[in-house]
Chain A
């Protein structure tokens, strides 16, 4: 065998080398040993990590044999990296799980059931957790992940850029009852035309993460699939209207950056961005003047969209029982209040303006009221489905046909349904 063909063989198999480590790390440590727990999270933000580490240190103080490390995985490939670690026999003890992959994780059997341990934790007050927040993380009445963050989407506005383009502030639009999608896009168009900065950026969309467009679709009552997940919604008239609106905003009005154009609101490159309040920590200190508004009303009226994240414990982690105990500590009422600074809690007693105002020094009480409290009360969770990664990829590829100036939107959307229908029907 030649050197070349040897290297070919090696390279042909290298892409699957991760699977080699399966037997590694399956052994469980005994309870007496010192225990190191690893929690994978998407955030690398210092303020977030300081908060997590503070809670972890408090736990170590109470349980000197246990240490907890938060391991940041890149947001873009978070779930892929996590599953690769699991495949390589290096599953974390706990992991942050996005709402879009929740059905896959919850139904997989990979997560430790948590109901009993949460109930048996003193002063945990399980009954305070909103049942609607738990819905996505349950199967047959058993909780498999704690709904750690129930965060409504809002519109962050750069008041300076709006003012510079000679327009009424977004707050004034809201109070005068004209906070609608039409007005928002018009304001974004004017900012772009007069300042050259981007108008509206849907954060984490970048013409790939299309599920973030649910924050716009809601204004048209459009959904990617039916409630039971079996029927495709891309070919419905309301979706065509919503997507035509977005398409026009991008290619005609130039109110949203075109594909292949980067603009970061938090760096001052855009007038508005749709994202969750956890991103408020990215706002520059002594930067521009900003405001936080709810999602604007669309033709079908007002609506709200929630992004959820759960934290689950892996059965195949090294210390599942201890990990579950740490999760119960991390999400107890006291720590939930601390975490509420960035991650709106699922605990109903904490969902009060005065309570959240105390822990959210960045947000004004009226912003908390209109975006967080109302958003959680009325919001719909971002789309999720079993086999989401596969559906996500097919829809992304299909939508690429739409992100062109002269696209046939209706035909493109119908084609997407043709591609994902078999996956939805499974």
Chain B
């Protein structure tokens, strides 16, 4: 914007003779100012993203035993080990189940809550705040409390007992452990997606619903034909955030199940942590983090490409 303003104020006389040189200088200065503006961001990305990424790739080509202090170049051995790892398919299956469960539950609940809270009712702000509040709570504290609630004789089974239901040992059964971890994660973050959906819903023009109503459209048809298309950019945004987040869940697993029972909740990030930090296999751990990066990159790219097919304003 600054550049255009300056160029617009240059008189024709100034563009003649030495003007050529001046114009180049101004462009150069503008570019420099621009670079200065983005320098902090560039520095941050370089230090915290590019350098670690390059280093992690470099480490993945090595066998690195932290205790022994060995750092030996092994070429693609870690990548061969990756394809031959008998546990990895199970880890990827668990990761897939976790991500799909989390994304589906989180987004449906967030949308449902947003629709319910998009009413002009007395005290509605209190409810909105209530549902958003877990987002600002410390993740580990939140998870530890849930850990107590999910114990065999914990609060949840205590409540179930009141209505005569004997609850399962939530974190000790393969299926209920996975369900528990998903629920704990969804309740923690659903408020964020809810707020985004709420903002999107409030931007849908009311007259569209009035027109639809006059045309005899049902509530469901209004939702499908008006609401959903108009909030689709937000759906895309929340989908990307939630999918990426689901692939990076760690603290909940570490606190609640440590990947168990068996390997039923050992998602890729936790497996990576085990290999690198518990088994001291930093080279292989780095290879797993490259795999995670590739998976996240592919999913994001695919979503970005698919947006034209289902995001309203991209059509």
B56, B69, B282: the one contacting A13 at CB < 8 Å is B56
Chain A contacts for B222, CB-based, 8 A: none
* B241 nearest CB neighbor, chain A only: A4
A396 to B55, CA, bound (A): 33
Interface residues of A in 70-109 (CB under 8 A from B): 80, 83-84, 86-87, 104-105, 108-109
Does any Cβ of B come within 8 Å of A43's Cβ?
no
Please tell me if the beta carbons of B260 and A10 are within 8 angstroms of each other in the complex: no
Give the contacts of A149-182 with B (CB-CB under 8 A). Answer: none
Does A400 reach chain B (CB closer than 8 Å)?
Answer: yes
Distance between A410 CB and nearest chain B CB, rounded to angstroms: 18
Q: Residues 230-268 of chain A: 1 if any B CB is under 8 Å from the residue's CB, otherwise 0?
A: 000000000000000000000000000011111000000
Say whether B59 contacts A19, CB under 8 Å: yes
* A34 interfacial contact with B, CB 8 Å: no
| Set B55, B272, B292: member contacting A20, Cβ < 8 A | B55
Assess A397 versus B263: contact at CB under 8 Å? Given A86-B67, A258-B152. yes
Write out the residue numbers on chain A whose beta carbons fall within 8 Å of the beta carbon of B301. Answer: 5
A393 close to B (CB within 8 Å): yes
From residue B252, how far is it (CB to closest CB) to chain A in Å? 15
Q: Who on chain A is nearest to B272 by CB?
A: A15
CA distance A347 to B151 in the complex (A): 44
- With a cutoff of 8 Å between Cβ atoms, the chain B residues found around residue A396 in the complex are 258, 260
A123 within 8 A of B: no
Provide the main secondary structure of the chain A interface: helix
B172 adjacent to A84 (CB under 8 Å): no
Q: Encode B34-72 as 1/0 by CB contact (under 8 A) with A.
A: 000000000001001101110110010000011111000
- B153 at the binding interface (Cβ < 8 Å): yes
- State whether the Cβ of B300 lies closer than 8 Å to any Cβ in chain A: yes
In the bound complex, residues from chain B placing their C-beta under 8 Å from that of A316 are 69
Q: How far is the CB of B268 from chain A (nearest CB, A)?
A: 10
Query: A2-B304, A105-B67 in contact; A393/B274 too (CB < 8 A)?
Result: yes
Tell me the nearest residue of chain B to A262, going by C-beta.
B151
Of A8, A20, A109, A403, the most chain B CB neighbours within 10 A belong to: A8
Q: 1/0 contact trace for B263-275 toward A, CB 8 Å?
A: 1000001001110
B53: contacting residue among A2, A9, A15, A87, CB under 8 A: A9
Q: Which residue, of A11, A398, A403, has the highest number of chain B Cβ atoms within 10 A?
A: A11
B277 at the interface (CB under 8 A from A): yes
21 CB < 8 A contacts A-B = A2-B300, A4-B244, A6-B49, A8-B297, A10-B48, A13-B52, A13-B56, A16-B52, A16-B272, A19-B55, A19-B282, A86-B66, A87-B66, A109-B68, A109-B69, A259-B169, A260-B150, A260-B171, A316-B69, A393-B278, A400-B172
List A residues at the B interface (Cβ < 8 Å): 2, 4-20, 80, 83-84, 86-87, 104-105, 108-110, 207-208, 258-262, 316, 387, 389-390, 393, 396-398, 400-401, 403-404
Q: A12-B248, A16-B52, A80-B277 are in contact. List 14 more A-B contacts (CB 8 A).
A: A6-B45, A9-B49, A12-B296, A15-B285, A19-B55, A86-B66, A86-B67, A104-B280, A105-B67, A108-B65, A110-B69, A397-B261, A401-B261, A403-B172
